[in-house]
Chains A and B, each alone.
Chain A
Amino acid sequence: MNIADDLYKEIILDHYRSKKNRRRLDPADYHQEGVNPSCGDDIELFIKTDGGIISEVTYDGIGCSICTASANMLCEALVGNSIEFAGKVLSRFKGMLIRAEEPDFPDSAADLEAMQGLRDYPVRIKCALLAWNTLDQILNDIQSDEKPQSLVDTERPG
């Protein structure tokens, strides 16, 4: 397989090129910044909720195509869905990349399957996970009902 076909599938490149969800929400109910210190990638997530439903979700920041495509997929997959749904997609996405589980995504998140090829490029997995680890922090904060503050180093979660 060729790296360009494996990694840079058209569907990933479409999400990378799309600037639709790349903007800041001010005010946002939840705002969290995540960094990957080893590559300097830096993504901020903004979320508005409405009765347990994610009514708006956007991102901003600096990252490679895998990182920003993944952030865009996150926004597309989660908007209009519940917090529980977000948690479920998050754990399936990590399952696919980290534990090599078969992808099993709800329809709105089906594009995430295109990231499966990353399993052969382990150093890039963290690029795809940056936005999701940042989301993880927000979900924890939602659960503990506390607004997030600090910067998370998502390469060493927990």
Chain B
Amino acid sequence: MSRRTVSRTYPIDRIRTEFPILGTTMRGKPLAYLDSGATSLKPQVVVDAELHYLTRISANIHRGVYQLSEEATVRFDEARDSVRQFINAGDEGEVIFTKNATESSNIIAFGWGRKFLKTGDEIITTELEHHANLVPWQQVAAATGAKLLFVPLDPVGRVSPDAVESVVTERTRVMAVTGMSNVTGYMPPLRDIAAIARRAGAVFVVDGAQLVSHHPVDVQSLGCDFLTFSAHKMCGPTGVGALYGRRDLLEAMDPLLYGGDMIVRVGKESATFKGVPDKFESGTPNISGVIGFGAAVRYLQGIGMEAIAGHEQELLAHAVRRVGEVPGVAIYGPVTEQGVAGGVSEPGGILSFNLGDLHPHDVGAVLDGEGVAVRTGFHCAQPMMQFLGVPGTVRASFYLYNTFEEIDRLVDALNKTLEVFS
């Protein structure tokens, strides 16, 4: 167990036993899962929480006076409170359950942007964005006549406060920025951007799909107005996400979906709607998923997000060094500049690279054969690929359960790839 981690106190061995899939194989080799950026593995406690609902409760929420229905409602509300605490939102009305971060982004863009943006208003964003935090704004810009402006990135893909200032005008209404690039792991200076947004009177939207799963986030001290994230990237189930929004903003917005569960009274010609969060949650939600989401954030809190982020930084440092030694490797993003310890204060646990002139899929395929799961392609971030000047990358991403040995296996598999294509 000597090389699993640097930190002696991080409970890596226990954590690994809590994820049943880590005991399995892929293509006949022990699974080395280095694709948590796409979706994380699920611990047994999350599976158990969902299973408990499905096998012991099963009833719908907010309906029925019988015991099981009450219990379902209690568990559902508990999950909302767990997620609220996890990001330190002020009140429960500010946490809306959605199906994923993408839906959360669309609720902001269409529920707020479509309603309040006018011709000539400006939306500031970056080329770092995942399509989920870009395409909805493109659509809303086209529909309202608002303009999209991009913060100029530095040569390794960083955002400086000065660069943000350089695109702010009196027409700036929205700043939509990722909390952590899903391509390079780079984390923009959110607090500085929040301050700029506040001075500009703009709404500050943070795409937290990567950030919230890997780092401690406190929406109140961060100063964001909206935050989007997905349960499945943080040990929870697929099909559930969350939208955090400042209460006054949410109250002013219109929902995207209308129907049951979100109404106060319905007549033949019109209806009145509930307040937040209910007005955004019409129809029967993914109840088992939400309950699993609650279990996931409590699980992460039990280990501690600081500890997890620290573990990922150690893994990243090891990966930058080891992968960097493979002949022909080009690593993308700020980690290239001075290594991890220098320059970059808080890089997320993501390493994007290419191997010589090999296509990322070819690298990924040989890695697959060695039991090493990585993501290959453009990572739903085509503007970022254009910025990097590559059609795609190989991306290894790390999470609380990964080890140094898995990174060493990645390196062995990369060397094998070179042999296959030599």
**Interfacial residues, chain A to chain B (CB-CB below 8 A):** 2-4, 7-8, 13, 38-40, 42, 62-67, 121, 124, 127
Q: How many A-B residue pairs have CB under 8 A?
A: 50
* Pairwise interchain contact A3-B377, C-beta atoms closer than 8 A: no
Q: Enumerate chain B residues within 8 angstroms of A63, measured Cβ to Cβ.
A: 359
Question: When chains A and B are docked, how far (Å) is the Cα of A127 from the Cα of B360?
Answer: 13
Question: B392's closest neighbor in chain A, by CB?
Answer: A40
Known contacts A40-B377, A63-B359: does B416 contact A4 (CB below 8 Å)?
yes
The answer to the question of B201 belonging to the interface, with a C-beta cut-off of 8 Å to chain A, is: no
* Pairwise interchain contact B366-A65, C-beta atoms closer than 8 A: no
Question: When chains A and B are docked, how far (Å) is the Cα of A62 from the Cα of B362?
Answer: 13
Question: B358's closest neighbor in chain A, by CB?
Answer: A65
* Pairwise interchain contact B420-A4, C-beta atoms closer than 8 A: yes
Q: Enumerate chain B residues within 8 angstroms of A8, measured Cβ to Cβ.
A: 362, 365-366, 420-421
Question: B370's closest neighbor in chain A, by CB?
Answer: A3
Question: When chains A and B are docked, how far (Å) is the Cα of A13 from the Cα of B359?
Answer: 13
* Pairwise interchain contact A124-B391, C-beta atoms closer than 8 A: no
Residue in A3, A13, A62, A65 whose CB lies within 8 Å of B368:
A3
In the assembled complex, the CB of B213 is this many whole angstroms from the nearest CB of chain A, namely 23
Question: When chains A and B are docked, how far (Å) is the Cα of A39 from the Cα of B365?
Answer: 13
Question: B368's closest neighbor in chain A, by CB?
Answer: A3
**Interfacial residues, chain B to chain A (CB-CB below 8 A):** 27, 358-362, 365-366, 368-369, 376-378, 382, 385, 391-392, 416, 420-421
Q: Enumerate chain A residues within 8 angstroms of B362, measured Cβ to Cβ.
A: 8, 64-66
Q: Enumerate chain A residues within 8 angstroms of B369, measured Cβ to Cβ.
A: 2-4, 7
Q: Give me 26 A-to-B residue pairs in the complex whose CB atoms sit less than 8 angstroms apart, sorted by A's number.
A: A3-B27, A3-B365, A3-B366, A3-B369, A4-B416, A7-B369, A8-B362, A8-B366, A8-B420, A8-B421, A39-B377, A39-B378, A39-B392, A40-B377, A40-B385, A42-B391, A62-B391, A64-B359, A64-B360, A64-B362, A64-B365, A65-B358, A65-B362, A65-B421, A66-B361, A121-B365
Question: A7's closest neighbor in chain B, by CB?
Answer: B365
In the assembled complex, the CB of B401 is this many whole angstroms from the nearest CB of chain A, namely 25
Question: When chains A and B are docked, how far (Å) is the Cα of A3 from the Cα of B359?
Answer: 16
Question: When chains A and B are docked, how far (Å) is the Cα of A113 from the Cα of B392?
Answer: 29
Question: When chains A and B are docked, how far (Å) is the Cα of A129 from the Cα of B235?
Answer: 36
Q: Enumerate chain A residues within 8 angstroms of B27, measured Cβ to Cβ.
A: 3
Q: Enumerate chain A residues within 8 angstroms of B420, measured Cβ to Cβ.
A: 4, 8
* Pairwise interchain contact A64-B361, C-beta atoms closer than 8 A: yes
* Pairwise interchain contact B365-A40, C-beta atoms closer than 8 A: no
Question: When chains A and B are docked, how far (Å) is the Cα of A121 from the Cα of B385?
Answer: 26
Question: B378's closest neighbor in chain A, by CB?
Answer: A40
Question: A61's closest neighbor in chain B, by CB?
Answer: B391
* Pairwise interchain contact A127-B391, C-beta atoms closer than 8 A: no
Most buried by B among A13, A38, A39: A39
Question: When chains A and B are docked, how far (Å) is the Cα of A73 from the Cα of B420?
Answer: 20
Question: When chains A and B are docked, how far (Å) is the Cα of A32 from the Cα of B365?
Answer: 28
Question: A39's closest neighbor in chain B, by CB?
Answer: B377
In the assembled complex, the CB of B348 is this many whole angstroms from the nearest CB of chain A, namely 23
Q: Enumerate chain B residues within 8 angstroms of A39, measured Cβ to Cβ.
A: 361, 376-378, 392
Most buried by A among B27, B385, B420: B420
In the assembled complex, the CB of A13 is this many whole angstroms from the nearest CB of chain B, namely 7
Other than the given A7-B365, A13-B421, A66-B361, 12 more pairs (CB < 8 A) read: A2-B369, A3-B27, A3-B365, A3-B368, A3-B369, A4-B420, A39-B377, A39-B392, A40-B378, A40-B391, A40-B392, A124-B361
Q: Enumerate chain B residues within 8 angstroms of A2, measured Cβ to Cβ.
A: 369
Q: Enumerate chain B residues within 8 angstroms of A3, measured Cβ to Cβ.
A: 27, 365-366, 368-369
Question: When chains A and B are docked, how far (Å) is the Cα of A104 from the Cα of B286?
Answer: 49
* Pairwise interchain contact A124-B365, C-beta atoms closer than 8 A: yes
Q: Enumerate chain A residues within 8 angstroms of B385, measured Cβ to Cβ.
A: 40
Question: A17's closest neighbor in chain B, by CB?
Answer: B421
Question: When chains A and B are docked, how far (Å) is the Cα of A65 from the Cα of B382?
Answer: 21
Question: When chains A and B are docked, how far (Å) is the Cα of A127 from the Cα of B362?
Answer: 11
Question: When chains A and B are docked, how far (Å) is the Cα of A66 from the Cα of B377?
Answer: 15
In the assembled complex, the CB of A130 is this many whole angstroms from the nearest CB of chain B, namely 12
In the assembled complex, the CB of A119 is this many whole angstroms from the nearest CB of chain B, namely 15
Question: B385's closest neighbor in chain A, by CB?
Answer: A40
Q: Enumerate chain B residues within 8 angstroms of A42, measured Cβ to Cβ.
A: 391
Question: When chains A and B are docked, how far (Å) is the Cα of A66 from the Cα of B361?
Answer: 9
Q: Enumerate chain B residues within 8 angstroms of A124, measured Cβ to Cβ.
A: 361, 365
* Pairwise interchain contact A127-B416, C-beta atoms closer than 8 A: no
Question: B367's closest neighbor in chain A, by CB?
Answer: A3
Q: Enumerate chain A residues within 8 angstroms of B416, measured Cβ to Cβ.
A: 4
Most buried by A among B359, B369, B377: B359
In the assembled complex, the CB of A88 is this many whole angstroms from the nearest CB of chain B, namely 29
Question: B420's closest neighbor in chain A, by CB?
Answer: A4
Q: Enumerate chain B residues within 8 angstroms of A13, measured Cβ to Cβ.
A: 421
Residue in B366, B378, B382 whose CB lies within 8 Å of A4:
B366
Residue in A7, A65, A121 whose CB lies within 8 Å of B359:
A65
Q: Enumerate chain A residues within 8 angstroms of B382, measured Cβ to Cβ.
A: 40
In the assembled complex, the CB of B38 is this many whole angstroms from the nearest CB of chain A, namely 13
Question: When chains A and B are docked, how far (Å) is the Cα of A20 from the Cα of B180?
Answer: 43
